[in-house]
Amino acid sequence: MADAVQARPPRIEASAWLQPLPAATRLSFCGDEAAQNAAAIALGLPSSRTPCRAVSTGARASLWLGPDERLLLAPAAEQATLLTILGSALAGHAHSLVDISQRQLAFELCGPNAALLLNAQCPLDLSLAAFPLHMCTRSVYAKSEIVLWRTAADRFHVEVWRSFSDYVLTLLRTVAREFPPTHGH
């Protein structure tokens, strides 16, 4: 039996306006409302029926991506636990639970220019009025799909498929050069 190998997640360079986020448990969860509620209760999350809104408790979050689709986020270490909890809670509910922990990776954009950095290639209105705190949605950044989640007035959690991350990060760094460093990110 060979030695166990280590996981090697892609490295993201941090900067004043960009914070990589640690490896996480990501579950794509689909099911009807009953299943959604059962899952929420099991995970200790408030039910998340409001479109394009995320609910979270501690490090666990459920992002509304579609009427019957949620992206469940939790610390990497919780993966097994989560699958067990949900497995039993959802018995009897028609649903789909798929591990996509490593399909995509995440980083945080922060600082006064976070929204401007995004709006260089993301066509959404990111003003607080139109894109309030806790809003989340799939969208696009240039030619890449992203999941965008506003975790603070000047902070966005961005999920991107791993093979698109180089493209998105390179683009963000190009755009960032347009802002004088003095505009402290």
Nearer to other proteins, 57 or 174 (CB): 174
Number of Cβ atoms within 10 Å of the Cβ of 127: 10
User: Is residue 139 part of the contact set for other proteins (CB under 8 A)?
Assistant: yes
User: Is residue 36 part of the contact set for other proteins (CB under 8 A)?
Assistant: no
How far apart CA 142 and CA 118 sit, in angstroms, is: 10
Q: Mask: binding to other proteins, 45-84, rule CB under 8 A, as x and -? A: ------xx------------xxxxx---------------
Q: Using CB under 8 A, list all residues that contact other proteins.
A: 1-9, 23, 28, 30-31, 51-52, 65-69, 94-104, 116, 119-125, 127, 130, 137-140, 142-145, 161-164, 166-167, 170-171, 174-175, 177-178
